[in-house]
Amino acid sequence: MKPLDAYMICTAPRSGSTLLCRMLAATGVAGKPESYFFGTSLEGWLEDLDIKPKRPAGEAELIAAAVDAAIREGRAGTGLFGLRMQSHSFGFFLEKLAVIHPAEKGARERIDAAFGTTLYIHLSRVEKVEQAVSYLRAQETGLWHAAPDGTEIERIEPRREPGYDRDAIRATVAEMIGQDRAWEAWFGEQDIEPLRITYEELSADPAREIRRVLEALGADSAAAAGMAPALRKLADDTNADWIARYRAEDALG
């Protein structure tokens, strides 16, 4: 199989994307996937990618500079560019690709024009209540990721005590379902059959799932041997209590 040029992890929050990205980077053969085009601001892209134009530049030139910088970082010295994308950033991302690749008529064609032949990975989470609770707890506690030894990797807010909110969980469940459906609709529109991975599968056997990705990319699947989770699960008794309480209340109507 001819190796591909790039891959895009299409996902929603708290689906295991940081774990997947870190493990793929650790293989040494699959680039360094990150959210290089996060948000809906070109200025934000430039800041995140540390691009400081030395002279006035038009929009197309700035977008092209962002794409070039992302490719350099996302390849990390390998032949593969890795990208993580969430649906709230995706529409803006496609709009900007259309500016620099106007001759390409479809979204898939513009992505290929920018990054080369691309594999799409749909990473989702089966247990939506668990996903919603994980998301809300991360928002309230401020802690999003920790290393296997417990060292904090990503803290957005100071630590504070979380509180159970049935309506917030219900709304977040609906939001997560909506994001999955949005990705499925786009895959259908673009005639794409993505590689599908669930959070549950990734957690149960990370080496197997990383090997599946590498095989689909045409990369050396032996690089997945011995892979272990690079993050610590943050779910605790509070998560379990909220999940059980919500399901009991939901069953009562």
**Closest to 21 measured CA to CA, from 115, 85, 90:** 85
Task: Annotate the chain with DSSP letters as a single string.
Answer: -PPPSEEEEEE-TTSSHHHHHHHHHHTSSS---B-TT-SS-HHHHHHHTT---SS---HHHHHHHHHHHHHHHHHTTSS-EEEEEEHHHHHHHHHHHHHH-TT--SHHHHHHHHHSSEEEEEEE-S-HHHHHHHHHHHHHH-EEEE-TTS-EEEE-S--------HHHHHHHHHHHHHHHHHHHHHHHHTT---EEEEHHHHHH-HHHHHHHHHHHHTS-GGGGTT---SS-----HHHHHHHHHHHHHHHH-
Q: Residue 126 pLDDT > 60, yes or no? A: yes
Kindly report, residue by residue over 64-112, the tens digit of the pLDDT. 999 999 999 999 999 999 999 999 999 999 999 999 999 998 999 999 9
Q: CA-CA distances (angstroms) from residue 133 to 18, 24, 59, 86, 124? A: 17, 26, 40, 19, 15
Q: Residue 234 pLDDT > 70, yes or no? A: no
pLDDT at 229 (0 to 100):
67
Residue 238: band (very low, low, confident or very high) from pLDDT cuts 50, 70, 90: confident
Average pLDDT, the chain: 89
Kindly report, residue by residue over 40-55, the tens digit of the pLDDT. 999 999 999 999 887 7
> Do 198 and 209 contact (CB within 8 A), yes or no?
no
Task: Report the C-alpha gap between 196 and 176 in whole angstroms.
Answer: 16
Q: Residue 143 pLDDT > 60, yes or no? A: no
Residue 232: band (very low, low, confident or very high) from pLDDT cuts 50, 70, 90: low
pLDDT at 175 (0 to 100):
95
The proportion of the chain whose per-residue pLDDT surpasses 90, expressed as a percent, equals 71
pTM above 0.75, yes or no: yes
Q: Residue 145 pLDDT > 50, yes or no? A: no
pLDDT at 162 (0 to 100):
65
pLDDT at 236 (0 to 100):
72
Mean pLDDT across 149-160:
57
